[in-house]
Amino acid sequence: MSDLALLALNLTEARDGLARKMFSARELAAAYNDAVSKAKPLNAYITPTPERALAMADAADERLARGEALPLDGIPIAVKDLFCTKDILTTAGSHVLDGFHPPYESTVSDKLWQAGGVMLGKTNLDEFAMGSSNTTSWYGPVENPWRRPGDNRPLVPGGSSGGSAAAVAAHAALAAIGTDTGGSIRQPASFCGIVGLKPTYGRCSRCGVVAFASSLDHPGPMARTVRDVAIMLSAMAGHDPRDSTSAPVPVADFEKALTGDIRGLRVGIPQEYRVDGMPRDIEALWQQGVEWLRTAGAEPVEISLSMTKYALPTYYIIALAEASSNLARYDGVRFGLRVEGDGLEEMYELTRAAGFGAEVRRRVLIGTYVLSAGYYDAYYLKAQRVRTLIARDFAAAFERVDCILTPTAPSTAFAIGEKSGDPIEMYLNDVFTVPANLAGVPAISVPAGLSGDGLPLGLQITGRAFDEETVLRVAQVLENAASFRHLPSFLAGAGR
Amino acid sequence: MALDKETVAHIATLARIRVAEAELELLANELSHILSWVEQLNEVDTTGVAPMASAAAASLPMRDDAVNDGGCREAILGNAPRVARGFFTVPKVVE
Amino acid sequence: MIEGRTGKWETVIGLEVHAQVISKAKLFSGAATGFGAKPNTQVSPVDAGFPGMLPVINRFCIEQAVKTGLGLAAEINLHSVFERKNYFYPDLPAGYQISQYLQPVVGHGRVSLDMPNGTVREIGITRLHLEQDAGKSLHDRHPSLTYVDLNRAGVALMEIVSEPDLRSGEEAGLYLRKLRSILRYLGTCDGNMEEGSLRCDANVSVRRPGAPLGTRCEIKNVNSIRYVMQAIEYEARRQIEVIEEGGTVEQQTRLFDAARGVTRPMRSKEEAHDYRYFPDPDLLPLVLDPDWVERIRADLPELPDARKARFMSEYGLSADDAGVLVAEKETALYFERVAQRRESKVAANWVMGDLFGALNRLGVGIHLSPVSAEQLGALIDLIADGTISGRLAKDVFAEMVASSADPAAIVEAKGLRQMTDSSAIEAAIDTVLASQAGRVAEYRAGRDKLYGFFVGQVMRATQGKANPALVNQLLKKKLAG
Ligand SMILES: [Mg+2]
Ligand SMILES: [Zn+2]
């Protein structure tokens, strides 16, 4: 099989091809290693690990030969550089973690390797996962493999798991793991034309994931199809005694949930998501999604998520408060960057000023402020109370419906530097994704069509806590109806 | 809430991030802008609403009192910018 | 009450005690807690605040805190919350300490103090909460560097906060001794101040009797009970002097300089502390099963106050003696082993008299006593059954202290067995009387006072081994002629 044909296979197809000995895990890994180096212009990877990929592929081949194949045997996977990987540089996209080689492996990546997965490398991200465009990384911006037809300006892949999304979209990874604190899996999935799932809070362990905002961080899978994502989730999920917020809930075989049958399912359409200034093509695609699901036998139901408007400011207060504390450990003492100064306090201040980029500094300062004496009640406690109301919105909605259909993001990928100045303009990217993080419920983005300017658009299915099965089942119905087969210009273009 | 330069300087000290005097003004404006945006939450009546600290519904899981970690000084010190004789070192602290 | 230049002053003291929980592993990690290990050898990536590492709580540490709460007659809060206390310090790896703030695991309780005048004082406990210890910073190993050892980082501490109910250094000392005694009885903290298992911060203020509370100063980390007492007395007098000189007391954190016996303000600039407490999002609320709490309550050991009452009723001891014997758990256990099937007052006298004296001279605690409770009991038995006299027993005890040998073996080896053979004693008496014919005549003529002289001579002739009662009986008969 040619490299190009190998790379065109999705995870499910590759798994079946390996099982049928149509190619070896080593051949697959070698093809992907090659694709990773060819994709260098996208800057999707911070640290490729080609030797490790080959070694893991060889081990997978041995198991495949013995007929003892594991669920992900030989599947090349990219890892967002927010997951700690034992003895492999882990940066969180930050200068402050210079040279950090963790002496441990994150639970989620470890589970993937235990399931036979092959590690391709560590992907680029917004610094400490703080961003929606992947432009804040110390290792430079990631480029979206997509471009607008007739417009050569590089576009952002979305963020913060932009490197993972770009790698999967550019066929430089068969699947990837990301983290989603306010939309960081789903929004880049939407921007890059792939599938991204944020599972229920507690479904995938946070142990070994560099923390941004502990109560909002969700590790999750990104891949080319809903089935691929279901297979990934089955391997990644599960209770972890090393994470006190990990849920002791059994893990289903999520692939089995993909029955294609959604007859009688009630799908909520929240009126509050019709925000001002949402592009007409997104509005139209959303309507199209409703029709697809209706055609498949589901019943659309108008619902109200009245607090939607307040989700973003609520999210920012809580996320930044937690981040300001989570990032206190980067002090130049035990790992990473250290800038010497005159005495301890200056060492701290210089290290953290040099180590953190502008967006991280800004967020840490705001987080510090909203927790500080005299402001805690007005900001932090207030936001936690509104969070309760947002969670209640979902709880009430899920008494009437089985899932909720919305757009994933209010825009398509934008050009690097197109939206700079105002941080709030950037924050608004997360308006549709943030509520699920606050409530902790699962949500998926599925590529559903192209915008007027030829860029991918995702639709989002949100479900009840621990009901990823319904989310995946509905998502697959959408996926089939949309039959999104477009390839990014990076793949369609010269050389490939 | 409009933040003044002094407040920003104070927060920066609390957060141990050096901010140049020249940057304070700009930062004060940026932070004020973001804070006034989040203040739209004041429109929401939250009387009697309990704060939500986590989406996890359970209570705190506990582990047994067993020693199964530590004893890995190389791993602990291995990433440190400065060490001496088995210790991390920092510029001298005066108490 | 302190007499100042301008009248009487009252000292008001509240103590914050940090008691290290006895446990094998740390509060939130599986690293060991032992004292004195090589630097950074008892550190897990969790303790070092490594990225992505998460805390998971140790059930036994919670049990220890609940047990301590019950021992302090305190409310146990079935719902409590761990919060982060944010500040930067090199021995605080994560940049925050996981502690409890608004909702501690233990609420109001009390400790009763036996005052020297025989009265009892109740001291209120405000709260007890669980938190992580910090690491250790060593400032004196290098001219320009501070060395950081994280072995202690993450070890479980109970912070026990008293109400401002204490009124003198002496009371503070009594409170600390009593608290330490309770902790040791419970087995929740070893109370070892030299190793830092028990550390004390004292909040001290002064006021005119009956006036509202004055401005307080916090004296940090004093590492012996004696120093706490000294520091408080010094600080109270300092504050009185400041006020009497027309100044005002400044609220500040001070350190006790043990060498000079004074307190001084901490040199580091006390930036306005703003700890930005908030619930730790890595941890969920701690919810205790009420049945579990009741099982812990049912298994509580007998505590000092109850044991004292029992010693008084069961052994007929005075309040003072019982108080002395129960103060340390080991002493009480020792005493009870000695008093087993023996005259309890005799046992108490030996323990508090000769044994305490010997331990004092040796400068060791009762757990290192060269004489075991069984050996001391055996010595008492030898007196009771007449094998040795009470007087010789003192010599035997001295020998036991020196050699840790059994009393019977010492008696045998040194031939100290009491002479109870009346014919031998008679022979000794005869010899003495024969050699003192003149004095015998004087005695018989009415000089009764000479009787003691004859007893002394007989005892000398028998190297002290003659049974004194027999000597009396026979001597009287012989002298009577
Ligand atoms: Mg305190
Ligand atoms: Zn404390």
Give the highest mean pLDDT range of B69-83, C248-262, C453-467: B69-83
Contact C48 A215 (CB under 8 A): no
Closest residue, chain C, to A373 (C-alpha): C274
CB proximity A206 to C under 8 Å: yes
Which of A235, A241, A229, A110 has its CA nearest to residue A180? A229
Given the residues A94, A161, A184, A411, the one annotated as active site: A184
Query: In this model, does residue A282 exceed pLDDT 50?
Result: yes
Q: Tens of pLDDT along A382-413?
A: 999 999 999 999 999 999 999 999 999 999 99
Nearest to B30 among A362, A382, A438 (CB): A362
The last residue of one of the domains, among C248, C279, C295, is: C295
Tell which residue, C48, C11, C30, C280, has the closest CA to residue C148.
C48
Q: Do residues C338 and C331 touch, judged by C-beta distance below 8 A?
A: no
CA distance C181 to C191: 8
| pTM, rounded to two decimals | 0.93
If asked whether residues C247 and C166 sit together in one domain, one would say yes
* Å between A244 CA and nearest CA of chain C: 6
pLDDT tens digits, C248-277: 999 999 999 999 999 999 865 555 679 999
Among C257, C276, C295, the domain-final residue is C295
User: For chain C, what is the mean pLDDT?
Assistant: 94
Quick check: bond before C313 cis, omega within 30? Answer: no
Do C222 and C329 share a structural domain? no
Choose one of C367, C396, C413: the last residue of a domain.
C413
Q: What is the pLDDT of residues A44-82, one digit of tens each?
A: 999 999 999 999 999 999 999 999 999 999 999 999 999
CB contact under 8 A, A335 and C94: no
Q: Does B76 touch chain C (CB under 8 A)?
A: yes
Statement to judge: residues C288 and C331 lie in one domain: no
**Å between B87 CA and nearest CA of chain C:** 5
The residue length of chain C stands at 481
Beta bridge partners of A302: A269
pLDDT at B59 over 90: no
User: Is residue C383 located within the same domain as residue C263?
Assistant: no
Beta-bridge partner residues of B83: B88
Residue B70: its chain C contacts at CB < 8 A? Answer: 29-32, 41-44, 47
Strand partners, A88: A85
- Domain identity same for C356 and C308: yes
Residue B57 banded pLDDT, cuts 50, 70, 90: confident
- Enumerate the residues of chain A whose CB falls inside 8 A of the CB of residue C282: 211, 214, 244-245
- DSSP assignment of A251-297, as one string? PP-GGGG-----TT-EEEEEGGG--TT--HHHHHHHHHHHHHHHHTT
Q: What residue in B sits closest to A350 (Cα-Cα)?
A: B18
Both C281 and C353 in a single domain?
A: no
Mean per-residue pLDDT for A344-362? 97
Quote the minimal CA–CA distance from C283 to chain A in Å. Answer: 6
Contact B56 C284 (CB under 8 A): yes
Q: Is residue C457 scored above 80 in pLDDT?
A: yes
Closest partner CB to A84 (pick from C51, C86, C93): C51
Question: CA-CA distances (angstroms) from residue A250 to A115, A204, A441, A472, B13?
Answer: 17, 12, 16, 17, 46
Give the Cα separation of C447 and C456 in Å (integer).
16
* pLDDT score for A246: 97
Short-list A404, A325, A316, B80, CA closest to C279 = A325
Residues of C in contact with A214 (CB under 8 A): 281-282
Q: List the chains bordering chain C where 3 or more Cβ pairs fall under 8 Å.
A: A, B
Residue A250 has pLDDT above 90, yes or no: yes
User: Over the stretch C126-176, which tens digit does the pLDDT of each residue have?
Assistant: 999 999 999 999 999 999 999 999 999 999 999 999 999 999 999 999 999
How far B78 CA sits from the closest chain A CA (Å)? 8
Which amino acid is it at A74?
Answer: G
**Of C445 and B95, more confident:** C445
Confidence bin at B1 (pLDDT 50/70/90): low
Measured between CA atoms, the residue of chain B closest to residue C278 is: B53
CB-closest option in C48, C268, C283 to B95: C268
- Judgement on whether residues C341 and C240 belong to the same structural domain of the protein: no
Looking at the fold, whether C392 and C432 belong to one and the same domain comes out as no
Q: Which positions in chain C touch A83 (Cβ < 8 Å)?
A: 52
pLDDT score recorded for residue C468: 82
In this complex, is the C-beta atom of C148 within 8 Å of any C-beta atom belonging to chain A?
Answer: yes
Asked if pLDDT for residue C434 goes beyond 80, the answer is: yes
- The CATH number of the domain holding residue C435 is 1.10.10.410
C-alpha distances in Å from residue C395, one per residue of A417, C376, C377: 96, 13, 16
Tally of residues, chain B: 95
ipTM value for the complex: 0.97
pLDDT value at A495 more than 80: no
Closest by Cα among C130, C246, C133, C119 to C174? C119
Nearest-CA neighbor of A326 among A181, A187, A452?
A181
C363: left (phi over 0), alpha (psi -120 to 50) or beta: left
- H or E stretch at C218: strand C217-222
Minimal-distance CA residue of chain A relative to B33: A424
CA–CA gap between residue C150 and residue C92 (Å, rounded):
8
Q: Are C174 and C226 in contact (CB under 8 A)?
A: no
- Residue C111 near residue C123, CB atoms below 8 Å: yes
Task: Specify the pairing of strand A118-123 against strand A76-80.
Answer: parallel
- Contact between chains at B76 and C267 (C-beta distance less than 8 A): no
Q: What is the mean pLDDT of residues C361-378?
A: 95
Residues C127 and C275 in one domain: yes
Residues in chain A within 8 Å Cβ distance of C96: 325, 328
Percent of chain C with pLDDT over 70: 99
Note whether C287 contacts B91, CB cutoff 8 Å: no
CA of C159 to the centre of ligand 2 (A): 5
Interface of B with A in 47-76 (CB under 8 A): 49-58, 60-61, 63, 72, 75-76
Same domain (yes/no): C249, C232:
yes
Tell me, what's the pLDDT at C385? Answer: 87
CA-based nearest residue to B76, from A101, A242, A206: A101
Q: Best of C33, C43, C271, C274 to disrupt the B interface by mutation (most B CBs within 10 Å)?
A: C43
User: What is the pLDDT, as a whole number, of residue A420?
Assistant: 62
**pLDDT value of residue C389:** 82
Say if residue C368 is in the same domain as residue C228: no
For residue range C162-219, list pLDDT tens digits in order.
999 999 999 999 999 999 999 999 999 999 998 999 999 999 999 999 999 999 999 9
User: How far is the centre of ligand 2, averaged over its atoms, from the C-alpha of C131 (Å)?
Assistant: 7
- pLDDT tens sequence across A436-488: 999 999 999 999 999 999 999 999 999 999 999 999 999 999 999 999 999 99
CATH assignment, B5-42? 1.10.20
Q: Under a CB-based contact definition with an 8 Å cutoff, are residues A146 and A169 in contact?
A: yes
The tens digit of pLDDT for each residue in A77-127 reads: 999 999 999 999 999 999 999 999 999 999 999 999 999 999 999 999 999
Known catalytic residue at A137: no
What is the full DSSP assignment across A428-486?
A: GGGTTTHHHHHHT--EEEEEEEE-TTS-EEEEEEEE-TT-HHHHHHHHHHHHHHH----
Q: Does C276 touch chain A (CB under 8 A)?
A: yes
- Chain C CB within 8 Å of residue B91 CB: yes
Q: Tell me: pLDDT of C49 over 70.
A: yes
Angstroms from A379 CA to nearest CA on chain B? 8
Which-ligand-closest: CA of C97?
2
| pLDDT level of residue A428 (50, 70, 90 thresholds) | confident
From the CA of A21, how far away is ligand 2's center (Å)?
62
Range of the domain at C370: 300-413
Q: Which of A375, A357, A358, A371 is nearest to A324 (CA)?
A: A371
pLDDT of C317 above 70 = yes
Can you tell me the distance from the alpha carbon of B9 to that of B13, in angstroms, rounded to the nearest whole number? 6
Contacts of A318 (CB under 8 A, 6+ apart): A213, A215, A216, A380, A383, A384, A387, A438
Instruction: Cite the DSSP H helix spans in B1-95.
Output: 5-14, 21-38, 73-77
Task: Please report, for chain A, the start and end positions of each structural domain, with discontinuous segments joined by +.
Answer: 3-268+400-493
- A161 included as an active-site residue: no
CA A82 to CA A224: how far, in whole Å?
Answer: 21
Shared domain check, C427 and C396: no
Q: Is A39 helix (H, G, I), strand (E, B) or coil?
A: coil
DSSP letter assigned to residue A128: G
The closest ligand to the CA of C15 turns out to be: 1
Distance (Å, whole) CA A463 – CA A441:
6
Exactly one of A160, A164, A411, A489 is catalytic; name it.
A160
- In whole angstroms, what is the distance from residue C239 CA to residue C253 CA? 13
Number of domains in chain C: 3
User: pLDDT value at position C176?
Assistant: 97
Q: What residues of chain B lie within 8 A of the CB of A352, using their CB?
A: 15-18
Over 90: is that where the pLDDT of A494 sits?
Answer: no
Q: How far apart are CA A229 and CA A165, in angstroms?
A: 13
According to CATH, the topology of domain A3-268+400-493 is Amidase signature (AS) enzymes (3.90.1300)
Instruction: Tell whether the model's pLDDT for residue A275 goes beyond 90.
Output: no
How near does any CA of chain C get to the CA of A373, in Å? 6
Q: Is A160 a catalytic residue?
A: yes
Looking at residue C363, its amino acid is: G
Position C418 confidence tier, pLDDT thresholds 50, 70, 90: confident
Where along chain B do its domains lie? 5-42
